[in-house]
Amino acid sequence: MIPEELKYTQEHEWVKVEGNRATVGITDHAQSQLGDVVFVELPQVGSEHHKGDSLASVESVKAVSDVYAPVSGKVVEVNAQLQDHAELVNQEPYGRGWIAVLEMSDPSELDQLLSAADYGKVVQEAGE
């Protein structure tokens, strides 16, 4: 199930927009491909990221994967719960498994993100 109210990237990140803030996480599809998440390297609060930059990394029993910034901005909050409970990324990818909140520097970048329906097509086309 792909939540309708979120925006998505081709790289399987999701974005929840609230005013000028964008909460970022990885999709259910991404976490299922990774397998059991054992560690999340969070960005530094206050760090600036451009759209497409590596924002964080997620380590699973299978691989380490980068999480890319879906929009440009400054990190204003990170999900410190993931330090001790990385499994939240698997259990609640669209809820308590969020990774960081960015204060967007260019909200127009949101126009380049995918709708839930379009993201669903990306997952289907990948044949996964």
Is the residue at 44 inside a domain? Answer: yes
Q: How confident is the model at residue 19 (pLDDT cuts 50, 70, 90)?
A: very high
**Domain containing 27: what range?**
7-105
112/22 Cα distance (integer angstroms) = 14
pLDDT tens, 1-12?
Answer: 899 999 999 999
113/74 Cα distance (integer angstroms) = 18
- Provide the number of structural domains found in the chain: 1
Is the residue at 75 inside a domain? Answer: yes
Tell me, what's the pLDDT at 1? Answer: 84
**Per DSSP, what are the bridge partners of residue 14?**
8, 25
pLDDT tens, 21-57?
Answer: 999 999 999 999 999 999 999 999 999 999 999 999 9
pLDDT tens, 69-128?
Answer: 999 999 999 999 999 999 999 999 999 999 999 999 999 999 999 999 999 999 999 775
Is the residue at 122 inside a domain? Answer: no
Those residues with Cβ within 8 angstroms of residue 72's Cβ, 6 or more apart along the chain or in another chain = 48, 49, 50, 51, 102, 104, 105, 106, 109
124/27 Cα distance (integer angstroms) = 14
Beta strand 64-68 pairing with 37-41: unpaired
Is the residue at 67 inside a domain? Answer: yes
Rounded to a whole number of angstroms, the distance between the first and last alpha carbons of the chain is 14
| CATH of residue 61 | 2.40.50.100
Is the residue at 100 inside a domain? Answer: yes
- pTM of the prediction? 0.95
Q: Are 31 and 99 in contact (CB under 8 A)?
A: no
Is the residue at 2 inside a domain? Answer: no
Is the residue at 20 inside a domain? Answer: yes
Tell me, what's the pLDDT at 128? Answer: 52
Report the greatest alpha carbon distance in the chain: 38
Residue among 64, 63, 116 at smallest CA distance from 94: 116
Residue 8's H or E segment, with its range, is strand 7-8
Is the residue at 39 inside a domain? Answer: yes
